[in-house]
Amino acid sequence: MLSNHVVIRRSTLQILSALAREKGEGTLARAAVAEAETCLNDAGRGLHLMLDASTAHLSDADRGLLERLSGGVSEDFSLPRVVNHEYGWSIFLSNLEETQEIQSKALRSAGASTALVQLIERGAEAECLILNFDADADLVPDIPVAAEYAVAV
C-alpha cells in the first residue's frame, strides 16, 4: 500500500469504500470497494504499514546513531527500537502520539539529522509502525538527501 510512497490512511480507505459503494456500479467500483475492504479488514491481523526510504537520506552521523541503537536493547526507552539488516536499518515507530514526540526529541538530542526526524514523523503521520531504510529503496519526496550522498547534476 505504501509503494512509491503513496500513503493511504484507514480513514481514506473508509471514505473511498463508501463513495464507491454509493456512486459506483461498474467493475472498477466493485474492485475498489473490495480492495479497500480487504485493506481495512487486514489491519490489526499482524499486517502493519511500513515506509521504505533510501539510505541516501541518512548522514554518516545518522548511520552511526542507528548502528549504536541497533547494538542491543537500550535502557533509554525514549529512543525507538532499531534493527540493522544487510541493506540498512528498520526503526520501529510508536503508534502513540505522546511517545512519537518523546522519541523525536530524544533522537534530536542524540544528534539525528533533520531528514531522519522528518522521515520518522512522516512515517508516524501515515500510521506506519516501521520505517525501513534500504540502500535500494527510492528517495522519499521532499526529504533532503544527506550531503555525503548527494550526486551533483
Instruction: Read off the pLDDT of each residue in 119-145 and give the average, rounded to a whole number.
Output: 90
Inter-helix orientation angle 97-109/114-125, to 10°: 170
Q: Which three cell numbers stand for residue 109?
A: 538530542
Q: What is the mean pLDDT of residues 40-63?
A: 80
Q: Give me the chain's average pLDDT, please.
A: 77
Strands 81-85 and 50-54: unpaired
Q: Which range is most confident: 15-19, 22-26, 72-76, 103-107? A: 103-107
- Residue 140, classified by CB atoms within 10 Å of its CB into exposed (0-12), middle (13-18) or buried (19+), is buried
What beta strand segments (E) does 44-153 contain? 50-54, 81-85, 88-92, 130-134
Pick 133 or 37 by higher pLDDT.
Answer: 133
**Average pLDDT in the 46-59 region?**
86
Q: Which pLDDT band holds residue 80 (cuts at 50, 70, 90)?
A: confident
CA 34 to chain CA mean position, Å: 25
By C-alpha distance, which of 129, 134, 131 is closest to 48? 129
Strand partners, 84: 89
Q: Map out the domains of the chain as residue ranges.
A: 3-42, 50-149
